[in-house]
Amino acid sequence: MLARALTIAAVALGASAGPAAAAPSLLQWALAPLHAVTAWQQSTGSGALVAVIDTGVALERPELAGHIWTNPGEIAGNGIDDDGDGIVDDVHGADFANGDGTPADDNGHGTHVAGIIAAHGLLKGLAPDATIMPVKVLSHDKSGNAHWLAQGIEYAIAHGARILNVSVNGDGSSDELEAAIRDAQDAGAVIVASAGNDGRDLRARPSYPVSYDEPAVVGVGAASSNGRRARFSNYGPGVDVTAPGEGIVSLGLPGFAYRSGTSMAAAYVSATLALESAAAPVYPLPILRDVLLRTEGAGGMLDTAAAVQTAAAATAPVTTAMVKPKPKAKRRHHKKKRHHARHRARRHATRARA
């Protein structure tokens, strides 16, 4: 069953101009509170793979050159589904919005998220040597549904991604989507989910996938440059950590663009997991997620350097006992909303809000 429309968890503030176009790195305020320079002494994310499950990614951007995943089981341009995954020529990811193997970005949101994670050059991502797997689950007008998102998650884990950035929100739950979340969890993946941009308490009105109970879901709220929760950011049960999310400069279509939203905040958390994974490759992602949550700063703010340093220095045995339970809103608060959402989904075509 399909849920209601999915919503991109960002608010475009307009393309940058002048100094931002010339030297966007000078405007990357978020790197300082995350102590990025200190983290880079331990790791730059080399070897880490992050699936950006979004509107696609502009594969041609030079800032992402050499950092886009290539499917080793697919031969480009031969018109054959070489790896038998049901998608023809999915050389650099997949597009579930249009049903093909070309995850090109015709909106800009996914490219912005990818730049925050792994850009290099004039603009530097938090994990500049990480690899991006583009998975398109939203169309050019930001419309989407839980079926496409579930397909995207299943694709990412089937092709080896264990860090899944999902900067997408929907008000209704879906059995299919939750099953995909559980499959990701069983595969040892971590789903970094944006909290949403309605400025609401998720206890009263959940959002998905961030409000799912599964520990694999790390919910991310947005903070302003003053370190406080951004006014637009959702909060409450399911939000595990906050990260910079207001006035974030990254890749645009074309050039560079400012955006604000929990989408941007989620990207910083995904990049931090990539840095941890590269610094401590023997540790599974659930352990690294636990390290990230245990090293939060004041007010639940992400501390990238502390997480990476702790992961790199860890000598404790790898055990799932280290993974702390993730507190979520109790499911009985959600059931009625989920039930009605699924019935609405049967009656109406889905379309994301701007």
Quick: pLDDT tens for 22-34.
455 557 899 999 9
pLDDT of residue 142: 79
Average pLDDT (187-216) is: 97
Average pLDDT (185-204) is: 97
Q: Which of 207, 260, 263, 277 is catalytic?
A: 263
pLDDT over 50 at 348, yes or no: no
pLDDT by residue (tens digit) across 297-335? 999 999 999 999 999 997 554 454 444 445 554 443 343
| CA–CA separation, 206 and 242 (whole Å) | 17
CATH for 6-347, among 1.10.3720.10, 3.40.1190.20, 3.40.50.200, 3.90.226.10?
A: 3.40.50.200
Structure tokens at 35: 């102590």
In the chain, where are the structural domains located? 6-347
Q: Report how far apart, in Å, the C-alpha atoms of 111 and of each of 57, 199, 218 are.
A: 5, 24, 21
pLDDT over 80 at 99, yes or no: yes
340 is a catalytic site residue = no
pLDDT of residue 132: 98
| CA–CA separation, 52 and 113 (whole Å) | 8
Cβ atoms 336, 227 nearer than 8 A: no
| CA–CA separation, 30 and 248 (whole Å) | 7
What is the phi/psi pair of residue 257, to 5°?
-145, 150
pLDDT of residue 23: 52
Average pLDDT (278-299) is: 95
194 is a catalytic site residue = no
Nearest by Cα to 60 from 126, 130, 111, 136: 111
pLDDT of residue 25: 58
Q: What is the mean pLDDT of the chain?
A: 86
pLDDT of residue 8: 57
pLDDT of residue 349: 29
pLDDT of residue 338: 36
User: Is residue 152 within a helix (H) or strand (E), and if so which, with residue range?
Assistant: helix 146-158
Average pLDDT (101-118) is: 97
Nearest by Cα to 97 from 212, 209, 196, 8: 8
Query: Could you tell me the sign of the dihedral formed by the alpha carbons of 314, 41, 44, 241, in that order?
Result: positive
Q: How far is CA 12 from the centre of its chain?
A: 17
348 is a catalytic site residue = no
Q: Which of 35, 67, 109, 334 is catalytic?
A: 109
Cβ atoms 294, 276 nearer than 8 A: no
3-state secondary structure 244-276: ECCCEEEECCCCEEEEECHHHHHHHHHHHHHHH
pLDDT over 90 at 195, yes or no: yes
Q: Which of 43, 54, 207, 270 is catalytic?
A: 54
The percentage of the chain sitting over the pLDDT mark of 70, rounded to a whole number, equals 81
Average pLDDT (161-170) is: 96
Q: What is the Rg, in whole angstroms, of the alpha carbon atoms belonging to the chain?
A: 18
Average pLDDT (100-119) is: 97
Query: 3-state DSSP call for residue 243?
Result: strand
Cβ neighbours of residue 51 closer than 8 Å, sequence gap 6 or more = 132, 133, 135, 152, 156, 161, 163, 164, 165
The percentage of the chain sitting over the pLDDT mark of 90, rounded to a whole number, equals 77
Average pLDDT (230-258) is: 95
